[in-house]
């Protein structure tokens, strides 16, 4: 379904009715992550929403710096009406009173249909993103098959690209060390489990190229600087589709997490923000997003509507779900600062 069709479905007629001309100057300031991801949001959500309602959208970008949101709220100078935020950050800011609790009755959406919405009181899940291991088939015809291969320097000699953060690396280290996927966070939530993960990371530390931005992994692969790398699956799909790369995603151990819309405490235009969330959360709009970037819809009513050609690229496709791990954002919200401090100290050794 194209954007023009999305604009006419998925919401009540009242929500979709064009705004009164007296409000023609109304606009929402929506902040997201930039790059190809935000371009996709513009095509699938922002432009169709404006066409349907007359509410203009001003875009801003950030790198997930929650300090900016906190500073706005605490100084009562909130200029962002909506923010696309990761789930662990949303939990922390919600607990601190920095985000508005979501009133689902205003959305006209069924919370039970939204994967991940339980325990997520200050936001509405939208897309399931993923971090995966990827290799270049042109350089490595018989690539890795399991997370254990990431740590096997004999079978796959050469550099690995990894995110310069404990997130994903600790989970994968425990998987490769024999911990069952279902027990990863139970183990990681103990001091002994953290020690075990870092000990496993020690085995490949000297062969890691650390990256900090999502655009780097495709370049590391293309340049032959690494034999395999962690990467965001959407970036890899984009490189394959638009740059002709022969990159292959290894879905074993895929880490699933979602981003969602949150309203900073005290933000203006909250009624319009709710209208936008309802629009973007409709099954049709969620399907439209996948046409531009294959991330998994949070609204499970969208899944049966996905183009069969796109489904295998989604991190939430059934085959990938079975071998993946849903990130426990409560663990990262509670222990993220501590784990990152230890990771920084570990890197410096």
228: nearest Cα among 106, 141, 135, 342: 135
Q: What is residue 36's predicted lDDT score, i.e. its pLDDT?
A: 82
pLDDT tens digits, residue range 16-61? 444 433 344 479 999 999 888 899 999 999 999 999 999 999 999 9
In this prediction, residue 289 has a pLDDT band, given cuts at 50, 70 and 90, of very high
**∠ Cα 249 3 50 (to 5°):** 120
Question: Is 5 a residue whose pLDDT tops 50?
Answer: no
Specify which residues 60 forms β-bridges with. 31
Question: Is 119 a residue whose pLDDT tops 80?
Answer: no
Q: What is residue 24's predicted lDDT score, i.e. its pLDDT?
A: 40
In this prediction, residue 242 has a pLDDT band, given cuts at 50, 70 and 90, of confident
Distance CA 312, CA 44 (A): 20
Helices (H) and strands (E) in the chain, counts: 16, 10
Q: What is residue 214's predicted lDDT score, i.e. its pLDDT?
A: 86
User: Lowest-pLDDT range, 1-15, 28-42, 111-125, 207-221?
Assistant: 1-15
CB count in 10 Å sphere of residue 79:
13
Task: Name the strand (E) or helix (H) holding 188.
Answer: helix 184-188
pLDDT tens digits, residue range 57-107? 999 999 888 999 999 999 999 999 999 999 899 999 999 999 999 999 999
Name the CATH topology of 129-257+318-348.
D-Maltodextrin-Binding Protein; domain 2 (3.40.190)
Assess contact for 289 and 45: CB atoms under 8 A.
yes
Q: Map out the domains of the chain as residue ranges.
A: 3-128+258-313, 129-257+318-348
Q: Measured on CA atoms in the order 230, 232, 236, 242, is the torsion positive or negative? A: negative
Q: What is residue 21's predicted lDDT score, i.e. its pLDDT?
A: 37
Pair of tokens at residue 181:
């996927």
Q: What average pLDDT does range 283-312 have in this prediction? A: 96
Measure Cα distances from 47 to 2, 40, 61, 189, 274 in Å: 12, 10, 17, 43, 16
- Which segments within the chain are labelled E, that is strand? 27-32, 56-61, 82-86, 124-136, 160-163, 208-211, 228-232, 247-262, 296-297, 325-326
Pair of tokens at residue 4:
């023009």
Q: What is residue 17's predicted lDDT score, i.e. its pLDDT?
A: 42
3-128+258-313 and 129-257+318-348: same fold? yes
Assess contact for 122 and 99: CB atoms under 8 A.
yes
Q: What average pLDDT does range 314-318 have in this prediction? A: 93
CATH code of 3-128+258-313, in short, is 3.40.190.10
pLDDT tens digits, residue range 149-193? 999 999 999 999 999 999 999 999 999 999 999 999 999 999 999
């Amino acid at each position: 379904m194209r954007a023009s069709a999305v604009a006419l479905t998925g919401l009540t007629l009242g929500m979709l009715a064009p705004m009164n001309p007296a409000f023609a100057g109304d606009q929402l300031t929506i902040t997201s992550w930039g790059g190809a991801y935000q371009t996709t949001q513009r095509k699938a959500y922002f432009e169709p929403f404006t066409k349907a309602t007359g509410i203009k959208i001003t875009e801003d970008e950030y790198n997930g710096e929650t300090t900016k949101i906190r500073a706005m709220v605490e100084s009562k100078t909130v200029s962002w009406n909506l923010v696309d935020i990761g789930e662990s950050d949303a939990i922390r800011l919600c607990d601190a009173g920095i985000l508005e609790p979501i009133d689902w009755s205003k959305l006209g959406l069924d919370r039970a249909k939204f994967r991940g919405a339980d325990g997520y009181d200050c936001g509405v899940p939208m897309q399931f993103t993923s971090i995966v291991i990827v290799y270049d088939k042109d350089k490595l015809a018989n690539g890795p098959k399991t997370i254990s291969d990431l740590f096997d320097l004999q079978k796959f000699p050469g550099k690995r690209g990894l995110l310069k953060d404990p997130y994903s690396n600790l989970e994968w280290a425990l998987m490769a060390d024999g911990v069952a996927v279902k027990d990863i966070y139970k183990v990681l939530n103990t001091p002994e489990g953290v020690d075990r993960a870092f000990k496993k990371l020690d085995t490949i530390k000297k062969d890691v190229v650390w990256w900090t931005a999502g655009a780097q992994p495709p370049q590391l692969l293309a340049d032959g600087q690494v034999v395999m790398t962690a990467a965001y699956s959407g970036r890899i799909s984009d490189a394959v589709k638009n740059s002709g790369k022969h990159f292959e995603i290894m879905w074993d151990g895929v880490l699933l997490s979602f981003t969602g819309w949150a309203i900073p405490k005290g933000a203006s235009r909250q009624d319009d923000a709710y209208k936008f969330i309802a629009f973007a959360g409709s099954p049709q709009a969620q399907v439209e997003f996948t046409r531009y970037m294959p991330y998994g819809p949070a609204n499970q009513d969208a899944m049966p509507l996905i183009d069969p050609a796109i489904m295998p690229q989604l991190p939430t496709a059934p085959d990938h779900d079975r071998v993946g791990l849903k990130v426990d954002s409560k663990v990262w919200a509670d222990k993220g600062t501590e784990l990152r401090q230890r990771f920084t100290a570990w890197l410096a050794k």
